[in-house]
Amino acid sequence: MATGLLVAAVLAAAALYGFIWERDVRGWRTWGFRLRHEIVATPEVRREGFLMSRDVYFVLRAGEDSRRAVQACATAFAHAQTLETPITQCRAFGSARDARIQLQHPDLNCELARSRQEPYMDAGRALVTINTGERCARRNSLNNAGTGFHTIKEQQ
């Protein structure tokens, strides 16, 4: 009897662990990143009930390297991408105000850097884009021409 209860408890804990590990954006594996950064928002895009993409808007610490920060965010929030998991983008901002402006006006580029992790891509190989141009500049084309965004392919 006790062995059966122990086995059931272990199986339930494993299922809960797996669910939290894979799906919960507020789960325990993001706590380390959350302790070091202010998370402004985590908007999600759903289509027909399926989670298609998730963005993590966060504020950089003073003097923090934006490239390393968005890579750490990708590691914390989306580590094991498969075809069924959403595209995850981490967006680093200089202030919470800039993040809120970006949320309200998607036609502006207020982020300092972003990482994009697509299905079947591990967090270490997330595509990193750095904004070296004017902050909160209006996008003038779909391909970021003239905005100061430069894409860097991370090789590890």
User: In this structure, are strands 50-59 and 149-153 parallel, antiparallel, or unpaired?
Assistant: unpaired
Decide if 133 contacts 149 (C-beta within 8 A): yes
Distance (Å, whole) CA 138 – CA 36: 30
Quick one: 108 exposed, middle or buried, by C-beta within 10 A (0-12, 13-18, 19+)? middle
Question: Is pTM, for the whole model, over 0.85?
Answer: no
Strands (E), the chain: 38-41, 44-47, 50-59, 87-93, 108-109, 113-117, 127-131, 137-138, 149-153
**One pLDDT digit (tens) per residue for the chain, 156 residues:** 778 777 777 666 655 555 544 445 556 667 888 889 999 988 888 888 777 788 899 999 999 999 999 999 988 887 555 556 678 889 999 999 999 999 998 888 899 999 988 777 777 778 899 988 777 766 554 444 444 555 544 433
For 150, the token pair is 């430069």
| Backbone φ and ψ of 21, nearest 5° | -60, -40
